[in-house]
Structure 1
Amino acid sequence: MTAERFDHPDVVICPGGPLLLRGEHLVADADGRMHRTTRPVSAVCRCGKSADQPWCDGTHKVLPDKQKP
């Protein structure tokens, strides 16, 4: 089995921040509704505090360390 070489991963976990998705993906929100990514890189909220769920709005930056993902 040979390993494939990727220029960049499709999913990147940002420490204390969002999940970055590169390319086309479907993301389910808390209500089970599906959202298609529309940008080359989309940021998905991991802290649960974004006002634009399921997308990250940067709220994690002002949270105390204990509440960051």
Structure 2
Amino acid sequence: MGEITVIKDGPYHITGVSGLKDSDGNVVEAGDEVWLCRCGHSNRKPFCDGTHKKSGFKDES
């Protein structure tokens, strides 16, 4: 069973999943763990590229 962890001021960390799909429904090749962008600034969407650190992304909580 998959697990999603929200990293404070960072991406979603996803483990134990297969068949990840993009917004067009195409299967995206990914490894055993995936980091997905939450800040909206990644140049590798839907994957995190670390841009949240440079952009100053903060959780709303």
TM range (shorter): 0.7 to 0.9
Partner of 1:68: 58
| CA shift for structure 1 position 49 | 0.1
Residue 15, structure 1, aligned to residue 8, structure 2: yes
Q: Which has the larger radius of gyration?
A: 1
Percent of residue pairs identical: 30
Structure-2-length-normalised TM-score? 0.73
Q: Which of the numbers 31, 42, 45 marks the counterpart of 2:34?
A: 42
Structure-1-length-normalised TM-score? 0.66
Q: How many corresponding residue pairs? A: 57
**Structure with the larger strand share:** 1
| CA shift for structure 1 position 37 | 5.2
Return the alpha-carbon distance in structure 2 between the equivalents of residues 57 and 18 of structure 1. 9
Say what the alpha-carbon RMSD is for the aligned residues: 2.2
Return the alpha-carbon distance in structure 1 between the equivalents of residues 21 and 24 of structure 2. 8
* Structure 2 unaligned regions, length at least 5: none
Partner of 1:58: 50
* Structure 1 unaligned regions, length at least 5: 1-8
Which structure is richer in relative contact order (CA contacts within 8 A, separation 6 or more)? Answer: 2
Q: Structure 1's 37 and 68: CA in aligned 2 closer, same or farther, altered over 3 A?
A: farther
Partner of 1:6: none
